[in-house]
């Protein structure tokens, strides 16, 4: 079985001091003995993530904030790290013990409120005695709802789960559709999926799987072919498809092989809309045309995958950019969660599709770039521009095309 | 990114006493600080698995045999557990320390040899001194090749990796093609993928992904549709597809909607051939026709997924079997690695597709059933029989069809 992709899970942040029973609470909620340990070595200062199936909510991702407590980092650093985690979570559980609210909880509450994060205050260890009225008062002021539970005895856990399930839809940032609105029921899309020699056997990449799945969910059909078979595929169809969706890396060939009356776009552009804000990312791409030798470009990756010899973000895009500009660009890579706070050295940020993170996370990056005045685009939008086919690939998204054209004009 | 499916990785078993440095060896080989801990709670007596990308070999799965050492279980139990692990590994690394070969290693060597498992003897901790001639002698007799390494200093690790890479092709049991031989280059297959309400969003199941991928690898094309769109899809194609592949659960409708001159089969039947032995599984299905009320049937699952309310193996197949037989069947489920040694109580074993395990593992189960005279089939073959369309779904596999017809005749 394939697991639900991480980026489609409800992200629940777990906040609280040591010894308030955060781990016991997860174990009790999931009925599993989950050990919250990092899958990725060398990242002990990062929050630890654990994907879980939790009835009746479904697939969730717990983000444990171990280390961000009153014994941990100093004030400013703690706030910064809490902020970074909050960029990613849909719902916060603030877990407190019977000894109640202190300055730590008060400061955390302030930060949660400033970000409008939906917060549940969970008073744990009710088996050691009922919470005092003062504690209940403080909890009530701090969160959206307050629940008293005992991870030890199980008291109150069903109510907690139901509360999470009830708040999940509003907590979760609505995602626009990936592709379903572009291919009406009964219609057909052709997907062009190159298989390069380095591709691990037996798999497709997540955006491809998600697109196939959403087309089926929309009562539409899809044809899946390699770039070489695209002309044949179009010939075999009785009438033209509604849309051709190709991998960015073959967009030039796919655009040449697809008659101009058939709309064409790329998986990356669909992901840019789904996970981020296509209009802003399209506008950001216009900055590529203004790059000059000596400028610094940040490549942002959200997953810590093993870079391939011919890695798209680390090798191909920097090479194409340098060809476009005439050499001399400086490119930095921020992998995983190392996205820098200070973006001012950069003339442009080019972000990956973000298939492993939530939309909230991608929008937070766009906001951070925007507030520092740094243009940001993504891999697919950038590649289509570098290949000279961006206006065609944005053809189904008129607002994004306008945003791109406008940003181009401003820069000239 | 999607990981390489577990069943497609080279499975490397790690054998050796405690303190010979098995964990340090994995860490040194992968350049990662891998903590070998179980992902699945409550299975501490099971071997622990860790998927790793290991250059230049590619995706491997380390199966750690912690607990099977001289301090662990008693003799008979140890042999039995070693056997169970050996059913699953392609290559064994027997790790020894400088204090060399003892009765534990001698017994292990015997077991490895009896199963013809390709074995490398790895003498670790060379930094503490060169191995004695006696140790080298014993090691040479025990394995296919002997290597002296130090996980501490890194000495010899490159040679070890190259040796594993060199032996991988012969160690790995050759898998037949999943579908590529059935759809020639330039031709097209239609895949029928039902989306039931319980299906987690944004994903497809592994056999579907593997089939799409192998069709692309074969320079062929595929059309992916839900069962309701199948008639439309066939109409839209200029000429008929070479093959229709459907989910077993919609085989009756798909068979009705597909003109008889177009070959039709199911994902499960393709997996039965790919992962097991379709001829034996087809013959096994004939036993369904001989089941009587009071008979006992074993449902074998290889992964420990969370059962759904309408789980195919736990709910649907038992229900259909009972309808077919007229009620009164007793069905047991063996999930994960709990497949019993004694199969004699059963009149039939119905096994899942085994998408998470290697072909070696599935064949070992078939062998175990065969040696005890218990017929074995798999989900998809059983469902096609229960729906009355098995001869049609085996149409592309004449040998399997003959095996089924022959087993039917024998039983009558």
Q: What is the pLDDT of residues B153-175, one digit of tens each?
A: 989 988 998 888 888 777 666 66
**Which residues 6+ apart lie within 8 Å of B301 measured at CB?**
B313, B333, B334, B335, B336, B352
Residues B156 and B290 both lie in one domain: no
Binned at pLDDT 50, 70 and 90, residue B144 comes out as confident
Domain boundary pick from A171, A205, A234: A171
- Answer yes or no: do A237 and B233 touch at CB < 8 A: no
Residues of chain B positioned with their CB less than 8 A from the CB of A202: 4-5, 8, 209-210, 213-214
Q: Cα–chain-centroid distance for residue B366?
A: 11
User: For residue B3, what pLDDT band results from cuts at 50, 70 and 90?
Assistant: low
pLDDT tens-digit series, residues B82-130: 777 777 788 899 999 887 788 888 888 888 887 778 899 999 988 888 8
d(CA B141, CA B136): 9
Q: Of A140-149, B97-106, B311-320, B363-372, give the lowest mean pLDDT range.
A: B97-106
pLDDT of residue A38: 38
Query: Rounded distance, CA B112 to CA B328, Å?
Result: 43
Q: Does residue A258 sit in the same domain as residue A310?
A: no
Judge if A162 and A17 occupy the same domain.
yes
What is the DSSP-derived secondary structure letter of residue B322? Answer: H
Q: What integer pLDDT is reported at residue A224 of this predicted model?
A: 97
- Tell me which of B200, B211, B354 to substitute to probe the interface with A (most A C-beta atoms closer than 10 Å): B200
Residue A51 pLDDT: 77
In which residue ranges of chain A is pLDDT below 70? 1-5, 31-48, 55-56, 65-79, 171-175, 197-199, 304-309, 337, 410-412
Shared domain check, B101 and B191: no
- Chain A positions touching B223 (Cβ under 8 A) are 221-224
Max mean pLDDT range (A368-382, B172-186, B187-201, B302-316): A368-382
**Does some domain include residue A1?**
no
Residue A232 and residue A127 share a domain = no
Residue A9 · residue A51 · CB < 8 Å: yes
The CATH number assigned to the domain holding B362 equals: 3.40.50.11410
> What is the count of residue pairs from A and B with beta carbons less than 8 Å apart?
156
B35, B158: one domain: yes
Give B198-261 as a DSSP string: TSPTT---HHHHHHHHHHHHTT-EEEEE-GGGHHHHHHHBSS--SEEEE-GGGHHHHHHHS-TT
Predicted pLDDT at A262: 96
- Give the mean pLDDT of chain B: 84
How far does B33 lie from chain A, in Å, by closest CA?
A: 6
Domain-located, residue A299: yes
Same domain for B153 and B136: yes
Please tell me whether residues B34 and B137 are part of one structural domain. yes
Within this chain, do residues B145 and B14 fall inside the same structural domain, yes or no? yes
The answer to whether the peptide bond before residue A56 is cis (omega within 30 degrees of 0) is yes
Tell whether A238 is covered by a domain.
Answer: yes
Backbone angles phi, psi at B377, to 5 degrees: -135, -175
CB B57 within 8 A of CB B91: no
B139 and B197 part of one domain? no
Examine the fold and report which residue of A268, A293, A310 is the final residue of a domain before the chain moves on: A268
Residues A85 and A48 occupy one common structural domain: yes
Span B67-72, mean pLDDT? 52
Q: Which of B248, B268, B288 is the last residue of a domain?
A: B268
Most confident of B8-12, B153-157, B285-289: B285-289
In chain B, residues with a C-beta closer than 8 Å to the C-beta of A209 are 2, 202-204, 209
Q: Is B33 on the interface with A (CB under 8 A)?
A: yes
Same domain? For A106 and A29 the reply is yes
Its domain, for residue B399, covers 277-411
CB contact under 8 A, A356 and B237: no
Distance, in Å, from the CA atom of B41 to the CA atom of A301, rounded to the nearest integer, reads 32
Q: Structurally, how many domains does chain B consist of?
A: 3
Q: Give pLDDT, residue A360.
A: 83
pLDDT for A396 equals 93
Q: What is the CATH number of the domain that holds A105?
A: 3.40.50.300
Higher pLDDT: A1 or B195? It is B195
Mean pLDDT, residues B356-382: 89
pLDDT surpassing 90 at residue B280: yes
Is the pLDDT at B332 greater than 70? The verdict is yes
Report whether pLDDT(B412) > 60. Answer: no
Q: Which pLDDT belongs to residue A376?
A: 96
Q: Is B259 left (phi over 0), alpha (psi -120 to 50) or beta?
A: beta
What is the pLDDT, as a whole number, of residue B109?
85
In a domain, B1, yes or no: no
Residue matched to tokens 């009620």: B327
């Amino acid at each position: 079985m394939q697991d639900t992709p991480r980026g489609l899970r409800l992200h629940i942040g777990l906040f609280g001091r040591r010894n308030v029973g955060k781990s016991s609470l997860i174990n009790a909620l999931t009925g599993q003995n989950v050990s919250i340990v990092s899958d990725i070595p060398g990242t002990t200062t990062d929050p630890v993530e654990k994907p879980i199936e939790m009835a009746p909510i479904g697939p969730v991702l717990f983000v444990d904030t171990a280390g961000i407590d009153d014994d941990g980092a100093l004030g400013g650093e703690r706030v910064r790290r809490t902020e970074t985690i909050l960029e990613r979570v849909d719902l916060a559980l603030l877990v407190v013990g019977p000894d109640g609210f202190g300055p730590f909880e008060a400061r955390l509450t302030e930060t949660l409120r400033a970000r409008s994060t939906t917060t549940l205050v969970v008073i744990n260890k009710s088996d050691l005695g009922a919470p005092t009225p003062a504690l209940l008062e403080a909890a009530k002021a701090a969160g959206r709802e307050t629940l008293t539970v005992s991870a030890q005895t199980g008291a109150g856990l069903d109510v907690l789960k139901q509360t999470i399930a009830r708040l999940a839809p509003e907590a979760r940032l609505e995602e626009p559709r990936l592709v379903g609105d572009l291919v009406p029921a009964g219609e057909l899309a052709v997907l062009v999926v190159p298989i390069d020699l380095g591709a691990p056997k037996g798999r497709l990449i997540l955006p491809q799987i998600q697109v196939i799945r959403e087309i089926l969910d929309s009562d539409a059909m899809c044809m899946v072919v390699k770039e070489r078979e695209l002309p044949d595929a179009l010939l075999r169809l009785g009438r033209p498809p509604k849309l051709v969706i190709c991998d960015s890396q073959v967009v030039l060939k796919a655009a040449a092989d697809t008659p101009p009356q058939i709309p064409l776009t790329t998986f990356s552009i669909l992901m840019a809309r789904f996970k981020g804000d296509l209009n802003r990312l399209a506008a950001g791409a216009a900055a590529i045309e203004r790059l000059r030798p000596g400028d610094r470009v940040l490549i942002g990756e959200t997953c810590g995958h093993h870079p391939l010899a011919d890695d798209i973000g680390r090798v191909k895009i920097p090479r194409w950019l340098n060809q476009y500009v005439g050499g001399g660009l400086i490119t930095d890579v921020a992998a995983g969660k190392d996205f820098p706070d200070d973006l001012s050295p950069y003339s442009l940020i080019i972000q990956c599709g973000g298939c492993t993170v939530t939309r909230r996370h991608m929008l937070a990056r766009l906001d951070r770039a925007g507030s520092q005045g740094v243009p940001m685009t993504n891999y697919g939008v950038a590649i289509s521009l570098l290949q000279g086919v961006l206006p065609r690939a944005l053809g189904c998204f008129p607002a994004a095309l306008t945003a791109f054209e406008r940003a181009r004009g401003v820069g000239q």
